[in-house]
Structure 1
Amino acid sequence: MREIIQDGERVSNFLSELSAEIGEAAASNVLQTSVNILERIPEVNSSEKILGLLYGLIQSGKTNIINMTVALAADNGYKLFVVLTDRNNSLQDQTFDRSDSALSGMLVRKMDEISEEDPEYLKTVLETDGIVLICKKDTADLEKLITFLSNQDLTDISALIADDEADAIGLNTNQRIEGEDPSAINQQLLDLRDMVSTQLYLQVTATPQAIILQNKEDTGFYPEFIEIVDAGRGYTGIHTFFQENAKEHIRNVEKEEIKELARMESDDEDITSIPDGLMSALSNFVIGASVRLLENTEPRREQKFTFLCHISPYQLIHTRIKKLTKKFVADLYKALKRPEESEKRDFIMHYLLAAYADLEDTHPKIPVFPDVLKVLSDNINSHDVIVLNAAPESQSNIKLNKKYNFIIGGNKLGRGLTIPRLLVTYYGRVVARPQVDTLMQHARMCGYRSKDLTVTRVFIPEDIADLFEEICEHDAVQRDIIKNHNIESTLYLNRDNLSPSRPNVIPNSVGAYKPGQLRFPKVPEFHSGVIEEVTSYVNEKVLDITEPFEPVEIEVDTVIDIFNKIPLLVTGGWRTKVIVEYLSWYKANRSNSINMLYNIDTNIGLSKSRGSKEIGSVLSPSMQRIVSEVDSKKPLAIFVRNRGVKEGWDGVDFWIPLFRFPEDENNILFNLNNI
């Protein structure tokens, strides 16, 4: 293992800054993750290219890891650093600000700024301290980047390219169209990768579903290694809200309410027209934020709290909710300041009292209600209602200056943006075919928010909350199979309810094993002089366990051993590696045994209807009946010994393996070309 300088100037500076921000332990974890990545990075000037994946968590500090990895690589001889961001201007600005602050002594520039610099100065900086380029993944910015690099001498320059939100933009959206050229941005990223001979291209995302299913090829985007980010101390993830503590934090919103908000007229601004769930969410926010202000446990500059409304991508709906929110604040202010003149005071107080009672359940030492109300009355003028969408008048980024901040938006809220001190989320994006990556990226309530957890709520329709719970299970399993079972090219997912990602970035070669599905290879090895030893081996393993047609429990390791021993000539939809990996995971997480049965002395031939190129039906009607009676909730391995005497065989016995996946388990998705 190479020696990595971990106490260089850039790392030391950033580590000190980061420790002050998130604590020494968390900062050390960031450094260790970056060291793990750098252990895979090509040696300086080695003309080697490596593609890796940083599998993070939603709002878990992936940008800190990117910056620490840049600092570490710079201290170890790398000179060129490109950080690719979403097309979202807000996200680019956020990334630039963080990198510029973290990487002292290095030149950090956005692509629209680089042309303003003196060329000779840039050349000198590139050869000495190094350059960090923040580039949006749009065709214009990428073209500027490629043009800039083409004018540099990169012969002895080693590069780190960090592709943030790598699954969102950059994968080939034309790959399902036979003969079609790569999509524009994908081609630009390929061109970028070709420009530097020594490089680490690091994909960064918390939702790698599409990346894991990419083709393994030189021009592909399938990673050669995966580094998993574990949750640090104080991190609250989707499991916190939707599994472990759902009763404390999740509040149901009727789906009809979301539709009602979409139908409301823009001039319907009476506070009593605000639907019950939204009114409850707004009230929970102002009470929760007032509680935190009253407790006064942090510096004044951090006393800026956020409410998030994300129910639609449509700007008209954002405008309606903004008007309703402003009406809520106006009527709230009047009810607090001039109660005798407020016609809506009783209506408002009902919701404020209900919100306080709700927070009492999770905040054991909540201040008394009159004190909370006074803080709200004294501070509510410090508020802002911010719309984040693609409209020209929309704010370009999140810069909170008020104590009570109401953020309303759509797709701009979907990826990467960190929303500080988010106390209440009102969520209701409804789609016909939900996608894992999109839903996970909408979980802006995640992050290092443990200090505010007692006053944090998520208002959401029940069926969408159920989807988030399902995604929790998928993400936990996915991390487990990669980290503990070295299964890096397979997704375990309930695909009946969820798609892994948008269809146009999923290769045509992706297949799936579904719950309850029975699989067998098209043609096992059957040749005389090749298969006899294997047949004898399987005989010894199987025949003494039980009689033919008698289901029995068998150790998982025995089945894995047999499956690995049986050679195959034509696999068809059977992938021994995927099935064996699944069995290893099943053993670790479910049970050490599965069901097994076998049959001998069958006389199966090649199927004439399939051109005599593969086996037809393997199980006889009587065997099918027995299989149907075996517990379907547990995996079933079946071994059928064929006599090999029919036309096309070689006159010797050989075993055919079959496997039935259990019902009520995950679908298993994988790229057939990668296995």
Structure 2
Amino acid sequence: MNRKGYFYKTMAEQNQYDLPTKHALKDVIHNLLREETNMRRPGMLLGKIQSGKTRTFIGALALAFDNGYDIGVVFTKGTKALARQTTQRLEEEYRTFIERDELQVFDIMNVPENLVPYELKQKLVFVVKKEKHNIERLNKVLFERYPSLAEKRALLIDDEADFASVGFEKTERETYDLRTISGALDDLRSRLSRSSFLQVTATPYSLYLQPENYHFKESEKMFKPVRPGFTTLVPVPDEYVGGEFYFEESEQEGSLASFVYESIDPEELLIMKKEDRRRFKLEQALTSQKISSMRRAILQFIVGGLMRRIQERTEGRSLPKYSFIIHTEMKKSTHEWQEQIARSVVEQLTMGLEESPQLVREEIQLAYESLRQSLRAEHCSDDIPSFQSVLYEVSYALQDGQILVAKVNSEGQIEELLNEKGELKLRTPLTIFIGGQLLDRGITISNLIGFYYGRNPRKVQQDTVLQHSRMYGFRARKDLAVTRFYTTREIYETMKRIHEFDRSLQDAFESGGHDGGVVFLQADTNGKIVPCSPNKIMLSKTTTLKPWKRMLPLGFQTGYKTHIQKSVKAIDRLLQGREKEPFLLDIELAKKIIQYIGETLTFNEGYEWDKEAFLSTMQYLSSQSEEHKGKVWIIPRMNRDIARFDEQGRFISAPDTPTGEVGQARTLAVDTPALILLRENGRKEKGWMDAAFYWPVLITPSTTPSTIYTSGMDTGKG
């Protein structure tokens, strides 16, 4: 392989590729040259959501041009906006070659009808939407208009490639479209003289974990599983912010990440769905508690964005523009209603500066205090703007019309909103985007510091939900300090479950274990835990296991003392005389303790404890122990006095101490699970019901393989 060719060398110098990126680019092309790749066995470029996959495949294509390839075909998702963004990105990256007449980039629908030999000798890149008319045009260009191109070596790149995600069915229409497009691509590849096939994705699960065969309902044809011929990982820089930040670091009390998530009342999402004056009136946008989260979200976006602009101005840097997304529904009528609400909030804040200055000041101060706490968590105390300076900037921004509310729910609108880089244009210092599917199709939205999300992940594919996560990507730490993510607790917990699922599979891929590094299990009708095919896993009932994972109930209150003391005393008797030191307990008695605990807890809206999953997980892990089969380590802790809420008014999520019982549990849990039992006093002044109770924390063994487990029953659906 030529590693020092003109195209690659120019791109490497221009983009200053770091060593991991150089290794990834060379690995891709080395494998494409060595392996025969096709639709059934593609090469795979695997990266995280918004982690630089496009930059990587553009670099890989440049290296391919130095190694015998003359044509690149980049297949994008089926929107004009994304095709335009991809085309503009390629033109930007390859500008040096384009200006020297060494390479040309075309949207396939705009290829000239009179390309001359001078142009046909150049390297050519075609951007093609994955839809019928684009692929028909590509066939016409390659095999009819310019048949000499079909004799050249081509690299086909399928961007955002997926068949379907584990645990979900495609709709009848999606299945039909998928079959049509896959067949067209396969036919195209077979007609080319020499071609290689590279798929680029952050959600590759179906490609690795499909069942051995699959029958379409409306056809006798069997779907042949796609299994990658090789996998190259996109390097992830330190600046990348993904699910680890939003769903793992956030559990560390006082951390920057712990301030990001804010809960939405599910009733508010119903109000945001359509106009109903019996529930909410637009003229009350500044005062109604019915949209308190939306109002807080908009205010914190305005205040946070302006705080960052003040900081940048103080440092003598250019002032960035910031964005905020509202994404709850697909319907255009909903977007129109949400646009009215958002504009009403902004307009009434502006009018309130004169009509209700004290009310507006108080609202701004609440947002300021929240953001100041997270800035402090990021150790930014020295340059936090004063409240007076922020109040002035907010007042000026409102009166000066610096806040734009933009609805994005049609191809025409989004094309008008794209800048020269193919990103959503930020025309004002602060822009609020409202939309649906078009906002989750890979369109880049820069400087995103607010995300109000209401799509219910249980109704869509896992890969789609991950693509919705627009807050993933490269983020400056100071921007993260003013970033907020708003959704219901139920949706947040489901997205967290998706992240855990994603993380387990990513870990297996990175360690080379995707051929058998993840165990898929299911509870059968008799309660036994048995291996199962990944397409039987239903995400809504999924528990992801890994070494030393903590499992515990959250977001609860206890029952009254008279109602729960019988269950608490039953646990006391089981532990009597063994309250001070860890000990091994038979799994059946451990399960009885959990059953008793379940009788003492009631959960707030949006929170639930899947007790059955907790029990069956504990039983499964105990059954896998070689040293203490059928046993569980019990680590009792008495006379605890934890508060129900933390300083931010959120439910405590870490009743156990990392250096205390958790450390001890990790020492003991080698191949046997450990159950920490915290006997809390439950005092009223701490937010409880003046009733003692037990708080269980299950620690999985250090030898636990990556495991996806479901307590849901097999429905026969994927």
Name the TM tier (shorter chain): 0.5 to 0.7
TM-score, with normalisation over the residues of structure 1? 0.67
TM-score, with normalisation over the residues of structure 2? 0.63
CA 1:430 to 1:46, structure 2 compared with 1: closer, same or farther past 3 Å?
A: closer
Q: Distance in 2 between matches of 1:133 and 1:165?
A: 16
Q: Distance in 2 between matches of 1:117 and 1:183?
A: 30
Q: Distance in 1 between matches of 2:35 and 2:480?
A: 45
Q: Deviation at 1:32?
A: 2.5
Deviates more, 1:391-400 or 1:379-388: 391-400
Q: Deviation at 1:198?
A: 2.7
CA 1:29 to 1:129, structure 2 compared with 1: closer, same or farther past 3 Å?
A: farther
Q: Distance in 1 between matches of 2:109 and 2:164?
A: 20
Residue 112 of structure 1 corresponds to which residue in structure 2?
109
1:277-299 deviation per Cα after TM superposition (whole angstroms, max 9, x unaligned): 11111011001100111012689
Matched, 1:406 2:432: yes
Residue 469 of structure 1 corresponds to which residue in structure 2?
496
Q: Deviation at 1:216?
A: 7.1
Residue 295 of structure 2 corresponds to which residue in structure 1?
279
Q: Distance in 1 between matches of 2:63 and 2:86?
A: 18
Matched, 1:157 2:157: no
Q: Which amino acid aligns with 1:371?
A: S
Residue 445 of structure 1 corresponds to which residue in structure 2?
471
Q: Distance in 2 between matches of 1:444 and 1:134?
A: 23
CA 1:176 to 1:355, structure 2 compared with 1: closer, same or farther past 3 Å?
A: closer
Matched, 1:94 2:85: yes
1:134-157 deviation per Cα after TM superposition (whole angstroms, max 9, x unaligned): 111111111101111113224652
Matched, 1:259 2:270: yes
CA 1:424 to 1:200, structure 2 compared with 1: closer, same or farther past 3 Å?
A: same
Deviates more, 1:411-420 or 1:221-230: 221-230
Structure 2 counterpart SS, 1:367: coil
CA 1:495 to 1:379, structure 2 compared with 1: closer, same or farther past 3 Å?
A: farther
CA 1:92 to 1:288, structure 2 compared with 1: closer, same or farther past 3 Å?
A: same
Structure 2 counterpart SS, 1:53: strand
CA 1:209 to 1:301, structure 2 compared with 1: closer, same or farther past 3 Å?
A: farther
Deviates more, 1:450-459 or 1:417-426: 450-459
Matched, 1:167 2:174: no
CA 1:277 to 1:118, structure 2 compared with 1: closer, same or farther past 3 Å?
A: same
CA 1:248 to 1:48, structure 2 compared with 1: closer, same or farther past 3 Å?
A: closer
1:165-203 deviation per Cα after TM superposition (whole angstroms, max 9, x unaligned): 1117999x99999x9997221211111221224322111
1:575-618 deviation per Cα after TM superposition (whole angstroms, max 9, x unaligned): xxxxxxxxxxx9xxx98868499xxxxxxxxxxxxxxxxxxxxx
CA 1:393 to 1:100, structure 2 compared with 1: closer, same or farther past 3 Å?
A: closer
How large is the Cα RMSD of the aligned pairs? 4.2
Q: Distance in 2 between matches of 1:13 and 1:666?
A: 45
1:216-239 deviation per Cα after TM superposition (whole angstroms, max 9, x unaligned): 799653211122224212110022
Note if contact 1:135-1:145 (Cα within 8 Å) is conserved in structure 2. yes
Q: Which amino acid aligns with 1:222?
A: R
1:283-327 deviation per Cα after TM superposition (whole angstroms, max 9, x unaligned): 110011001110126897761100111111111111111112122
Note if contact 2:457-2:491 (Cα within 8 Å) is conserved in structure 1. no
Q: Deviation at 1:421?
A: 0.2
Q: 1:428 aligns with which of 429, 454, 458?
A: 454
1:536-576 deviation per Cα after TM superposition (whole angstroms, max 9, x unaligned): xxxxxxxxxxxxxxx9xxxxxxxxxxxxxxxxxxxxxxxxx
Note if contact 1:209-1:491 (Cα within 8 Å) is conserved in structure 2. no
Note if contact 1:174-1:183 (Cα within 8 Å) is conserved in structure 2. no
Q: Which amino acid aligns with 2:481?
A: T
Identity %: 25
Residue 354 of structure 1 corresponds to which residue in structure 2?
366
| Pairing 1:408-557 to 2, within 5 Å after superposition | 408-430=434-456, 432-451=458-477, 452-488=479-515, 510=535
**Structure 1: any 5+ residue segments left out of the alignment?**
497-507, 517-550, 552-585, 598-630, 636-660, 670-675
Q: Which amino acid aligns with 1:281?
A: A
Q: Distance in 2 between matches of 1:314 and 1:411?
A: 9
Note if contact 2:81-2:411 (Cα within 8 Å) is conserved in structure 1. no
Residue 557 of structure 1 corresponds to which residue in structure 2?
none
Q: 2:141 aligns with which of 119, 142, 148?
A: 148
Structure 2 counterpart SS, 1:330: helix
Note if contact 1:425-1:459 (Cα within 8 Å) is conserved in structure 2. yes
Q: Distance in 2 between matches of 1:50 and 1:664?
A: 25
1:426-483 deviation per Cα after TM superposition (whole angstroms, max 9, x unaligned): 1111255453212111110010013311111101111111122222222221122122
Q: Distance in 2 between matches of 1:52 and 1:90?
A: 26
Q: Which amino acid aligns with 2:139?
A: I
Q: Deviation at 1:95?
A: 0.9
Q: Deviation at 1:348?
A: 3.1
CA 1:477 to 1:269, structure 2 compared with 1: closer, same or farther past 3 Å?
A: same
Residue 567 of structure 1 corresponds to which residue in structure 2?
none
Matched, 1:229 2:234: yes
Q: Distance in 2 between matches of 1:175 and 1:154?
A: 37
Q: Deviation at 1:665?
A: 5.1
CA 1:300 to 1:190, structure 2 compared with 1: closer, same or farther past 3 Å?
A: farther
Residue 373 of structure 1 corresponds to which residue in structure 2?
391
CA 1:120 to 1:153, structure 2 compared with 1: closer, same or farther past 3 Å?
A: same
Residue 216 of structure 2 corresponds to which residue in structure 1?
none
Structure 2 counterpart SS, 1:429: coil
| Pairing 1:569-608 to 2, within 5 Å after superposition | 595=629
Structure 2 counterpart SS, 1:39: helix
| Pairing 1:38-49 to 2, within 5 Å after superposition | 38-42=29-33
Note if contact 2:208-2:514 (Cα within 8 Å) is conserved in structure 1. no
Q: Deviation at 1:162?
A: 1.0
Q: Deviation at 1:207?
A: 1.1
Matched, 1:388 2:392: no
Note if contact 1:386-1:395 (Cα within 8 Å) is conserved in structure 2. no
Q: Deviation at 1:387?
A: 1.6
Q: Distance in 2 between matches of 1:485 and 1:311?
A: 37
CA 1:392 to 1:466, structure 2 compared with 1: closer, same or farther past 3 Å?
A: same
Q: 2:2 aligns with which of 1, 4, 12?
A: 4
Note if contact 1:279-1:351 (Cα within 8 Å) is conserved in structure 2. no
Q: Which amino acid aligns with 2:57?
A: I
Deviates more, 1:75-84 or 1:376-385: 376-385
Q: Distance in 2 between matches of 1:156 and 1:43?
A: 20
CA 1:223 to 1:593, structure 2 compared with 1: closer, same or farther past 3 Å?
A: farther
Structure 2 counterpart SS, 1:95: helix
Q: Tell me the number of residue pairs that the alignment of Structure 1 and Structure 2 aligns.
A: 512
Note if contact 1:170-1:189 (Cα within 8 Å) is conserved in structure 2. no
Q: Distance in 2 between matches of 1:47 and 1:418?
A: 29
Structure 2 counterpart SS, 1:408: strand
Q: Distance in 1 between matches of 2:258 and 2:25?
A: 37
Residue 537 of structure 1 corresponds to which residue in structure 2?
none
Residue 583 of structure 1 corresponds to which residue in structure 2?
none
Q: Deviation at 1:50?
A: 5.8
Q: Distance in 2 between matches of 1:44 and 1:664?
A: 29
1:97-137 deviation per Cα after TM superposition (whole angstroms, max 9, x unaligned): 111111231200101110x252334xx444x3310001111
